C-alpha cells in the first residue's frame, strides 16, 4: 500500500476524502454480487483494514443499524459509512456511489433482456458467481462472529447463538430477530447507564 493511500482523514483535503468515498463505494457496488452482506465485507476490508478510517467495533454497530433501517442493506451500509466519515455530504456521495452501478447495469440489461434471457453462457456465469458469493458471505459471517467473540460479552455471544438457532432451525423472520435484538440492546444500554 502506498503512503498516499494510507493517509489518515486529518491529513487529506476534504475534496480528496469525497473522491475516495465515491470511488471506493462505486467500485464496491459495481463489483459486488450477492447482496448487502458481501458489501459489508468489502466495506470492512477497504475502510477498516486498508484505510483505517473506521474501527472494527464501528463496523459492527454500523451493520446493526444498516440491518435495522428500511431499504437495501448495501445502500444503507454505504450511507452510514459516508455519514460516519463526512456527515450529510459524505452520506449523499456514498449514496450516489452505491446506486449508480446497479442503475447502469439494470438499464443495460433491460435493453438487452431478451438476448440475456436465453443465453446459456450467461446462465452458467451466473451459477458460478453464486458459488463465489456464498464463499464471501461465509467469510463475512465468520469475521462478524469473531468480532462478537472478541468482545467477551456473554450477553452478545448468547444473543448471536440464539439468533442463529432461531433462524436456522425455527425459521424465525429476520425482522422479528432484529426487533428482539434491538430491544435487548436498548434494555442493556439503559441498565448499563444506570449502573454507571
Q: Is residue 60 in a domain?
A: yes
The answer as to whether 158 is a domain residue is: no
> How far, in Å, CA of 160 to CA of 76, rounded?
22
Rg (CA), the chain: 19
Residue 174 lies inside a defined structural domain of this protein? no
Is residue 179 a part of any domain in this protein? no
C-alpha to C-alpha distances, 129 to 31, 113, 168, nearest whole angstrom: 11, 19, 24
- Whether 21 maps to a domain, the answer reads yes
10-residue stretch averages of pLDDT, the chain, 196 residues long: 58 92 95 79 92 91 88 92 95 96 88 76 80 84 88 92 93 90 89 78
Distance separating the N- and C-terminal Cα atoms of the chain: 43
Q: Is residue 56 part of a domain?
A: yes
Contact 69, 36 (CB under 8 A): no
Residue 188, in any domain of the structure: no
CA 120 to chain centre: 32
Domain total for the chain?
A: 1
Q: Is 114 exposed, middle or buried (0-12, 13-18, 19+ CB in 10 A)?
A: exposed
Q: Grid coordinates in use for 177?
A: 430477530
Q: Which DSSP state fits 175?
A: H
Tell me if residue 189 falls in helix, strand or coil.
Answer: helix
Q: How far is CA 46 from its chain centroid?
A: 11
- Its domain, for residue 96, covers 9-124
Q: Is residue 98 part of a domain?
A: yes
**How far is it, in rounded angstroms, from Cα 48 to Cα 135?**
20
Q: Which three cell numbers stand for residue 149?
A: 467473540
Amino acid at each position: 500500500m502506498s503512503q498516499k493511500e494510507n493517509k489518515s482523514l486529518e491529513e487529506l483535503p476534504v475534496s480528496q476524502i469525497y473522491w475516495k468515498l465515491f470511488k471506493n463505494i462505486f467500485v464496491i457496488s459495481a463489483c459486488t454480487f450477492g447482496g448487502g452482506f458481501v458489501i459489508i465485507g468489502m466495506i470492512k476490508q477497504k475502510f477498516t483494514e486498508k484505510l483505517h478510517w473506521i474501527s472494527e467495533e464501528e463496523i459492527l454497530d454500523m451493520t446493526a443499524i444498516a440491518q435495522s433501517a428500511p431499504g437495501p442493506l448495501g445502500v444503507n451500509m454505504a450511507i452510514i459509512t459516508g455519514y460516519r466519515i463526512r456527515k450529510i455530504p459524505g452520506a449523499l456521495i456514498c449514496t450516489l456511489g452505491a446506486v449508480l452501478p446497479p442503475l447502469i447495469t439494470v438499464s443495460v440489461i433491460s435493453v438487452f433482456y431478451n438476448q440475456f434471457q436465453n443465453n446459456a453462457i450467461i446462465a452458467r456465469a451466473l451459477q458460478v458467481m453464486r458459488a463465489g458469493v456464498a464463499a464471501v458471505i461465509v467469510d463475512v459471517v465468520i469475521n462478524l462472529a469473531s468480532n462478537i467473540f472478541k468482545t467477551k460479552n456473554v450477553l452478545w455471544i448468547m444473543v448471536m447463538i440464539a439468533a442463529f438457532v432461531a433462524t436456522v432451525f425455527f425459521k424465525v423472520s429476520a425482522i422479528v430477530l432484529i426487533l428482539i435484538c434491538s430491544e435487548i440492546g436498548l434494555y442493556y444500554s439503559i441498565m448499563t447507564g444506570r449502573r454507571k
